[in-house]
A and B are shown apart, each in its own frame.
Chain A
Amino acid sequence: MKLRTFVQASAAAVIALILTGCAAQPYDYTNYRQHPPRSIVVLPPLNESTAVEATYGYLSTVTRPIAEQGYYVFPVAVVDQFLKENGLPSAGEMHQASLKKIGEVLGADAVLFVTVEEYGTKFQILNSATIVQARAKLVDTRTGILLWEGKRRMQQNSNSGGGGALGALIAAIVTQAIASSTDAAHNVSRTANVMLFSTKDSGLLYGPYHPKYDSPE
């Protein structure tokens, strides 16, 4: 690694540390620790954004960070289909369903309710900004107690440097074309979810499949 790069990386690390340090006090995990779930069912999210594709663009990126945190995560598409076939045709109705019922039918310890607040790419003249903002609540199915909640906003700008104004313009056109065809927000929601669920002291605690589960830290 070049010295300059190293210095930059270290500076970035220090600032990131300061920033995370500033991010208020750690989440109060009292309820979470009293009712530690083993399994989590993620319902298709409610969509407050203007993008219809938000629900499923988001849903497909939510399993991995939670499972890697050590939980059993129910297969999202199978659960979605199962609930649809059992009288809950939309995310809205699934979110209204009785917790006890969902707990019993699926055998889930906790339900994660996600609301996507913003989802999509805003195009400007020389660049575009892809934004995903979501809030989530983890609720114990037996007691209805709120175990955890969190919120994240992730923005990714695609303005490429170099090549002057024309180069930037061309780059912007290219990224916009790519963004609109592959749903850039889908990729940004991946990052948003990692931040939301896996950040220490504000994300989910480690679950039973994680090697650090129950470790006092």
Chain B
Amino acid sequence: MSRLVWLLALFGLVSGCATPTLYSWGHYEELVYVSYAQPGKVSPEMQVEKLEEDYQKARANNKRMHPGFHAHLGYLYFQLGKVDQALQEFATEKAEFPESTVFMDRLISNLKR
């Protein structure tokens, strides 16, 4: 018990306790991990489904999705052969985070070829 309290105290100091997060993270990290650690275990369809759910939840709570979310989702759509949705997601990533412009434009032009 006391160990836990110590750990929490230390963690609180490090993380600044009540700082709200900038973004909603949903299942992103988990899905990236699983797709590498156990390839094939979670199909792209299921990943898309999870991420779209995360997106809806974030919207309902007025939270912003994290950097890379729409790009990653677009990439999954591309894997499923859904090029229109992929293009849409890449464009959203670009609109949300202009820092991604060069990379997104590259992916978009690759898809349109």
Cα distance A190–B99 when bound, in Å? Answer: 25
Interface flag for B50 (CB, 8 Å): no
Encode A71-110 as 1/0 by CB contact (under 8 A) with B: 1111111110110000000000000000000001111110
Interface flag for B55 (CB, 8 Å): no
Cα distance A73–B28 when bound, in Å? Answer: 13
Contact B66–A107 (Cβ < 8 Å): no
The number of chain B residues with a CB under 8 A from chain A is: 37
Q: Classify the secondary structure of B's interface with A.
A: helix
Query: What's the count of A-B pairs with C-beta under 8 Å?
Result: 119
Interface flag for A33 (CB, 8 Å): no
Encode A159-195 as 1/0 by CB contact (under 8 A) with B: 0000000000000000000000001001000100011
**Segment 48-62 of A: residues with Cβ below 8 Å from B:** 53, 56-57, 59-61
Interface residue stretch chosen among A9-17, A24-32, A111-119, A122-130: A9-17
Cα distance A70–B97 when bound, in Å? Answer: 12
Encode B67-106 as 1/0 by CB contact (under 8 A) with A: 1110110010000000000000000000001011111001
**Segment 18-56 of B: residues with Cβ below 8 Å from A:** 21-23, 25, 28-30, 32-33, 35-37
Contact A12–B5 (Cβ < 8 Å): yes
Cα distance A50–B29 when bound, in Å? Answer: 23
CB distance from A15 to the nearest CB of B (A): 8
With contacts A39-B99, A81-B75, A194-B14 taken as known, whether A186 is within 8 angstroms of B68 at the C-beta atoms is no
Residues of A within 8 A of B5 (CB): 5, 8-9, 12
Cα distance A39–B97 when bound, in Å? Answer: 10
Closest A residue to B19 by CB, please name it: A68
Contact A60–B101 (Cβ < 8 Å): no
25 contacts between A and B (CB under 8 A): A8-B9, A9-B9, A13-B13, A16-B9, A53-B37, A60-B33, A61-B33, A63-B29, A63-B68, A67-B68, A70-B22, A74-B103, A75-B69, A75-B71, A76-B68, A77-B75, A78-B72, A104-B102, A106-B106, A107-B101, A107-B102, A183-B37, A186-B37, A190-B29, A198-B14
Q: Beyond the given A61-B29, A61-B33, A74-B103, please list 7 additional residue pairs across the A-B interface where CB-CB is below 8 A.
A: A17-B13, A63-B28, A63-B29, A63-B67, A64-B66, A107-B103, A194-B15
